Structures are given as C-alpha cells and as structure tokens.
Structure 1
Amino acid sequence: MLTDRDVARWRLATQRLVAPHHGSVLDVVTGLLAVQAENRGQSGWSVASRTSGRTAGELDELLAEGAVVRTHVLRPTWHYVAAADVDWLLRLTAPRNRPVFERQLADLGLTSAVLDRAGVVVLEHLATEPDRDRTELAAVVAAHGIALTGHAFMLFLGLLELDRLIVSGRERGTTHTYARYADRVVAPSRFDREEALAELAWRYLGGHGPATERDLAYWATLTLTDARRAIAASRHRLASFEHDGRTFWHDPAGAPPSGEEQEPAGHLLLLLDEIYRGYQDSRMVLDVAGIVPRGRETAIGIALVGGQIVGSMRRTLGSTVRFDVEAYRPLGPVELAALEAAAARYASYLDLPPVLTVRS
C-alpha cells in the first residue's frame, strides 16, 4: 500500500532530482513543461540539478539562442519554457492571468488608452533595438511623455508578455532583457483549446506525477472543471491510483521506487522549486512527520533528505557559497552527510567552495 513518503520519492524520480537524471537542460524544461524562474540567480540550479552535467552555462546558452524563454506563463509569475511550447501555453493560460494584471494596473489609475500607447512605443523601440532591459524601456516610454514607472511598469510588461507581444531577449550578464515575441518565438501554436488542455494534462502529469486534478488546476491556473476535462482528454495515456481519498494520475511508464536508497539522497533547493511549488493539493507529501510550519511561508529554500523536508535553507554568496539550514528536528549523521553532499554539488555548479551550517 502506497504511503505519502512513497509518493514523494516517486516524484523525485519523475522530476529527475534523483538518478537517472536528464541529459540536458532542454530535456529538463521540456520534461517539466515549465519551470518556475522567479529568482533568476537561483532558479538555474533548479534546472541544472536535474541534469547529469550540472553546469550553469547550458541554460544561459539556450536563453541566448531563444530555444528556452523566460516569461510570465501559467501562474502570473516567471517560468522557463521551451520556445516550442510557449505559444500554446500562453494561448491556453493567459486568459485566466490577464485580469490579475489588468486589475492591479486599473487600481494604479492606468487606463487602457495609456497602456496601448505605451505598448506601441515599446514594440517600435524593440523592432530596431532588441534586448533592452526594463530600465531602458521605462526611459523610452517616459521620453514619450507617458507616466508609467516602478511597479506599474513591471505589471505593464507582464501584460505585454501574456499578450504574446514581448518575451525574454538575450541576457546581458545577469540582466534580463526583452525582445519582440514575433522575433524570438517562431513556432506557431499547434493545438486548439481542447487539444491544448489534453497536452497540458499529459505533459504536467508525465513530468510531475503522481499528482491530483487539484494540483494540475493550481499549477496551470485552470478552473477545476478545465483540469478535469484536461485529464479526461488524456485519460487513455495516463494511469491512476487512489490514495488518501484522492485520485493520483501519472505516466503509466512510471512506478513507485523500490526500497533502495535514491541518489542523491539530499537536496538544497529554492522553495519555488517544482518539487514543492509544482503542487498545492498534495504538496505536503514532503512532510510526513508534520514538522514543517504551516501558514504563511517565510523560508526561501528547503533542505530535503529522502524526499522529506528536514529544514529551511538560505543561500548566501561571497568568496564562498554559504548554506544556512534551520533544521525542524535534530538530524542524524547520515542526514547531515546527505546535506553536505548536496552543498558540495551546488557549490561545484557555482564554482565556489561550500560552507554548510545546520542548526536545530
């Protein structure tokens, strides 16, 4: 009989956080369909940690080429998405997210006429000078006498992303830039809405499963009705089981891990990592012991051992990379060794010496 711990370990395998890992960054992004990328400096590790090479440059190259884009899609936040998938995903999910941006802009006193004028200015500028950052684009808009700054300007750019008018350009160092969507995304949408729902369910559950219909609805900002329709349309490609009063769906090729130890055993990850943020309904299979504080999330990162959260984690960069773990319970020697190994892998990716402190 499956337990929550079994489901958590199964997800580690599905998401390739344990061996066998994916062979490339593009395989990771395609396999997960979308990877939360709110924190550009740390989300790269969320991708690289699922590959056998674990190098930083591969994601940078894919973003520069445009094979992977970083844009607002699914939930109203940043995600890495393969360019081949971004068009149909935006067509499917943007209608649910667009009102969020519109309401906030309206609350700030911005009218559609002002936003339309600003949009024309941005697109005309990017047509001749692509790969401009937010500060540069704000200055261009201001030079045309349009009062649109700060948080309002960020919301405005998000709206242009949802409307498939702009998308990530070539980064300049660590600076995110924008380019015209039509110049960077050349793959046309391949699905009508019903086909897109079916593809979404298949790809999400294939890359994140086992998961529930409510997990899917949360992840893709779908109504529960649409999530159920999506799963029904993909049912012939999926398998399921009942657990804890819910139906969990997954790729039939997947199976619960054996009792053998998974490698690596420990992980130091962002709270935004797909192993945590990729679910809501059944997220806390990661906390069988019930030791993680409930309520408002205050942690930035998590420490995992054996598919269970054992503490919060904060990363600090300097001449070293420091990982400060606040353990939710005393950890044994094997668990501490797993976190030491996780710190060493992460530090190697950053080409810095690691320092790990664990307090309980």
Structure 2
Amino acid sequence: MPRPGALADDDLRRLPIAAQLLQRPRQLSVPDLVSHLGGVQAQVLSAAGLALRARTEGLREPGVGRARLIDRSVVLNWAMRGTLHLVAAQDHGWLVPLVIEARVSNAYRRLQQEGVPAGQATDAVRLIAQMLEREGPLTRRQIAERLGTRGVRVEGQAIAHLVWLAAAQGVVCHGPARGPDQCFVLVRDWIGEPERMDRDAALAELAVRYLQAHQPAGPRDLAHWSGLSQADANRAWRLAQGRLVELETARGTSWALRAGVVEAAGGLVRLLPSFDEYLLGWRDRDIAVPAEHRTRVNRGGGWLHPVVLFDGRAVATWSTQRTPRARRVVVRPFSELDPTVHAGVVEEARDLSRFLGLTVEAVF
C-alpha cells in the first residue's frame, strides 16, 4: 500500500503529459522542441513530424523539413538505442557519442562477421570522411562503390554497418535526399564543428535533459530510453543528484527535477504517432497502455502502433487511409469511447489537416 501523500496513478499519467508538452503550453520552434525531448525517434520520418505536431501549436509539416535541411537546426542520425532520431544540432556533438558508444563494439563485431576486419573498418571510416569532404553528399550506394574500389568489402550488410559506424564516431549524419535515396554528409560540413563535453558533464546533462521531458522517472528508465548501460545511467543520476528531488509514488520511489513539476489538466485527447516518446520513454508503460491491450499497441519487433491518448492512457489505435478526396484517420477503440474522446479526435483530425495541408476526416 502506498504511503499517504504518495503520487497516485492519475498523477503518474498527468505529470508526464506536462513534461512531454502534450498539453501544448506554448508555441515552440522545431529545434527547441526536439532539444526539450532529448530527441525524437525518426526511423519513420513522417511519424517524427506528427510527434512534434502533437506538442506545439502552429507547426506545419514543411517546417520540420526546413529545420532539418535548410536551417540545419536539427539533425537526423542514429542516437538513443542505436535508432534513428531527430536531435537538436546544438546537442549532437555531446549527445550522440554518449548514447551510441556502447554499441560501437557490436558494430565492429558485426563487420567482422561480414568479412571486414577491425582495421579495415577503421580505415573505411577515414575513407568515407575523405570522399564526403571531397565530393559532398553521397548516397550509401555511392559510398559503397568508392569503398569497393579501395578494396573494402561492402557486400551484404557490410556497407550498412560501415556507414552506421561512421555516424557513431561523429563523422557523418543524414543529409538531403537524392531521389528515393538518402545522402550522407560530414557532420562538420552540415552543422559546423559540434560542441563537445567531457563524459561526466555529458552524463549529468543527459540525466537532467531526460527528466525534463520524462519526470517522474528513475535511472532504470534512463537506461531503457538512452541505451546507456545501467552502470552509466546510475552514474548519470548520481552526478545530477543536486538537481533532482525524490518523489514517493504508488509504484515506489521516483525522481523529478528540483525546479518543480507541473501536472496537466485531465481529459486531454491526442493522436500520437508510431514510436511516440510518451510510449517509448520509460521502461514500464503499463500505466499508459493497459496490460490487456498491450499487444494491440506493440505488435512485436519494436513496432508501436499510433494511439489515441485520453487523460494519459491509450484508449484506441489509429491509422490513416488515403481516398481520392481526403485522408481518413481510422480509429479502432479498445472499448466504447467517451464522448469527450470523440470530440477530441475530431479536433485532432482538424489539426492534422492543418499540419499536412490536406483534408483529414476521422472515422470511428
């Protein structure tokens, strides 16, 4: 039984809503929003844009592309958990190396399995940097062709791991598209020389940045979200301890920033996309996705369906269908929906229409 005064489950849903900016407290730029969240998962780039839409007023889809490709204030690269994220350009230099370093040895091991020895992989990263400096943006296929002429094995999955390794070592990031293909660029050419931090300073900053968007939470949540080892997550927590405060909750001890926590009002409705941070950002999300509906949201293989969020809890999944005249938001409820949810989804569909520049209608 929780102690008197402990935060109840309703609090544990509404506090993260506020931390995640899902109540849209103010209009934020794309880089400010991405920096607040620490990063936005972007293995499906359109879903990353929808995640940003859910958290600020006035943003339109072209604004996300402009921030990445014109202003270059956000960067697309592999980051937390080794997956593609949008990361604020000002954070890239300290954040990406910190969260990716534990996976670098695995990349070398996979390359060894593909027939690329460690020494050749290191040489390949240097060659990739040289060709991008000389020629500018190149697709993965073009990089493979050039490495192949230098005797580097690029068959099978080798080229994918070599490009990933170059990104993990802070050399390259994703740049513009060339037709259907993604180009890669030198980080220093794309956003300038990135800001670095010593490792302990970066760990402390990561803990604070994580809590800023995920409070209340604990070091196990940080390890889950970031991909850090548990030992590193615990160290990050200790280094940031002076800026944290302990909270007693119905589910045990948790932490928030000493600067204070804000609880969102009840009744909020949001259409959250695949891989949304509200579902990915903690080790255990039973509080947001009831256990009996977990398989409807998480279909396995790390794939999360878009959900309708009501008062911090997933109450339906949704998908889009294209028609000759419009795009439909098709809602699949877990049970009969409250009228408040119906009204909220219709309002969210209107906002999607504004964001996408298309007619969007909700279908229940």
Q: TM over 0.5, yes or no? A: yes
SS where residue 81 of structure 2 aligns? Answer: coil
Distance 1:127 1:59, change over 3 A: same
Percent of matched pairs sharing the same residue:
29
Contact 1:28–1:47 (Cα < 8 Å) also in 2: yes
Q: In structure 2, which of residues 13, 16, 21 is the aligned counterpart of residue 16 of structure 1?
A: 21
- Measured in 2, the distance between the counterparts of 1:316 and 1:329 equals 22
Is 1:31 aligned to 2:33, yes or no?
A: no
CA offset digits 1:248-273 (Å, max 9, x no partner): 22223443526x445xx222222311
CA offset digits 1:197-229 (Å, max 9, x no partner): 111101110122111211101111122222122
Alignment of 1:141-152 (within 5 A): 141-144=147-150, 146-149=152-155, 151-152=157-158
Q: In structure 2, which of residues 258, 261, 282 is the aligned counterpart of residue 279 of structure 1?
A: 282
Distance 1:172 1:19, change over 3 A: same
- Measured in 2, the distance between the counterparts of 1:313 and 1:321 equals 13
Q: In structure 1, which of residues 336, 339, 344 is the aligned counterpart of residue 345 of structure 2?
A: 339
Task: State the AA in 2 paired with 1:291.
Answer: H
- Measured in 2, the distance between the counterparts of 1:51 and 1:332 equals 25
Q: In structure 2, which of residues 102, 107, 122 is the aligned counterpart of residue 96 of structure 1?
A: 102
- Measured in 2, the distance between the counterparts of 1:290 and 1:240 equals 31
Is 1:307 aligned to 2:312, yes or no?
A: yes
Contact 1:303–1:313 (Cα < 8 Å) also in 2: yes
SS where residue 317 of structure 2 aligns? Answer: strand
User: TM-score normalized by structure 1?
Assistant: 0.88
TM-superposed CA distance for 1:188, in Å, is 4.3
How many residue pairs get aligned? The number is: 354
TM-superposed CA distance for 1:142, in Å, is 4.0
CA offset digits 1:16-74 (Å, max 9, x no partner): 11131342111101111211111112211112321211212222222123221111112
Give the equivalent residue in structure 2 for 1:255: 261
Is 1:224 aligned to 2:224, yes or no?
A: no
- Measured in 2, the distance between the counterparts of 1:46 and 1:169 equals 21
- Measured in 1, the distance between the counterparts of 2:244 and 2:12 equals 16
Distance 1:235 1:328, change over 3 A: same
TM-superposed CA distance for 1:3, in Å, is 2.0
Task: State the AA in 1 paired with 2:118.
Answer: S
SS where residue 331 of structure 1 aligns? Answer: coil
Distance 1:299 1:184, change over 3 A: closer
Alignment of 1:155-304 (within 5 A): 155-172=161-178, 176-257=182-263, 260-261=265-266, 265-280=268-283, 282-287=284-289, 290-293=292-295, 297=300, 299-304=304-309
Contact 1:266–1:341 (Cα < 8 Å) also in 2: no
SS where residue 177 of structure 1 aligns? Answer: strand
Distance 1:7 1:108, change over 3 A: same
- Measured in 2, the distance between the counterparts of 1:239 and 1:208 equals 14
Give the equivalent residue in structure 1 for 2:3: none
Distance 1:27 1:314, change over 3 A: same
Task: State the AA in 2 paired with 1:124.
Answer: Q
Task: State the AA in 1 paired with 2:56.
Answer: T
Runs of 5+ unmatched residues, structure 2: 1-5
- Measured in 1, the distance between the counterparts of 2:95 and 2:304 equals 30
- Measured in 2, the distance between the counterparts of 1:132 and 1:111 equals 24
SS where residue 75 of structure 1 aligns? Answer: helix
The Cα RMSD (Å) is 2.5
Task: State the AA in 2 paired with 1:156.
Answer: L
- Measured in 2, the distance between the counterparts of 1:121 and 1:256 equals 50
TM-superposed CA distance for 1:315, in Å, is 2.8
Give the equivalent residue in structure 2 for 1:75: 81
Give the stretch that moved more between structures: 102-111 or 6-15: 102-111
User: TM-score normalized by structure 2?
Assistant: 0.87
